[in-house]
Amino acid sequence: MNLPDLPLVAILRGLDPKDAATVGHVLFDAGWRLLEVPLNRPGALAAIRILVDMAPLDAIVGGGTMLSVADVDAVAQAGGRLFVAPNCNPAAIAHARAAGMLCAPGVATPTEAFAALDAGAHALKLFPAESIGPAGLKALTSVLPAGTPLWPVGGVTPEQIPAWKAAGATGAGIGGQLFAPGVAPDALAARAAAFALAWRT
């Protein structure tokens, strides 16, 4: 599956459906094309539906904290095409892959990484990135298949992106450093632009 030119995932935890269109417009206008709404907050599926309906053709919208096959089915029914999880559940990964989703499960060890790839993962979410660190990511690249997309998630800031890229990161997931419920649209736009600039430079 082709990844967007800006390989940053906006993690929209706690997105209220009534704010979804505004948040979506800000992020899409800033060039973001990977949006996930974690399922462990109320209204997630409704927010996913709204984002899917307004997304540009090259955008991929879906769910986060997808822990089960049932979660995959629920997001698919909402139109989502992105599977993100904090863990490595081979059954859920394989089900999402079969449903045509871009699959980015969470891993923290080589054992989890290879299990995720064997199940059909397209990219690996390195979580929690704060504890793995760029050194841990670099070590993983020495044993994983060349070209495996690696996305650190957890506490990533624009200032840290050069170090992550130097270690081999091919993207990143951005949560609270980008979005929190109630964030003003202009603040969200500024944050989105700062992350995009950091990645592209």
129-166 confidence digits (pLDDT tens): 999 999 999 999 999 999 999 999 999 999 999 999 99
How far is 172 from 127, CA to CA, in rounded Å?
10
Residue 89 domain flag? yes
The tens digit of pLDDT for each residue in 73-102 reads: 999 999 999 999 999 999 999 999 999 999
Residue 179: domain span? 10-200
Task: Identify the band that residue 196 occupies on the pLDDT scale cut at 50, 70 and 90.
Answer: very high
Residue 196 domain flag? yes
pLDDT mean over 176-186: 97
Task: Identify the band that residue 3 occupies on the pLDDT scale cut at 50, 70 and 90.
Answer: confident
Residue 2 domain flag? no
Residue 142 domain flag? yes
pLDDT of residue 144: 97
Average pLDDT, the chain: 97
pLDDT of residue 67: 98
Residue 160 domain flag? yes
How far is 45 from 58, CA to CA, in rounded Å?
20
pLDDT of residue 2: 78
- Is this prediction's pTM over 0.85? yes
Residue 25 domain flag? yes
The tens digit of pLDDT for each residue in 29-68 reads: 999 999 999 999 999 999 999 999 999 999 999 999 999 9
pLDDT mean over 183-193: 98
Tokens of 73: 């089915």
- DSSP-derived secondary structure letter, 200: H
Residue 57 domain flag? yes
Q: What is the separation of C-alpha 117 from the centre of its chain, rounded to a whole number of angstroms?
A: 17
Residue 165 domain flag? yes
Is pLDDT of 1 > 80?
A: no
The number of helices, as runs of H, and strands, as runs of E, in the chain is: 8, 9
Active site residues: 36, 125
In the chain, the number of structural domains is: 1
Q: What is the CATH number of the domain that holds 76?
A: 3.20.20.70
Q: Minimal CA–CA distance to 124: which of 145, 95, 155, 100?
A: 145
Q: Minimal CA–CA distance to 123: which of 37, 36, 2, 6?
A: 2
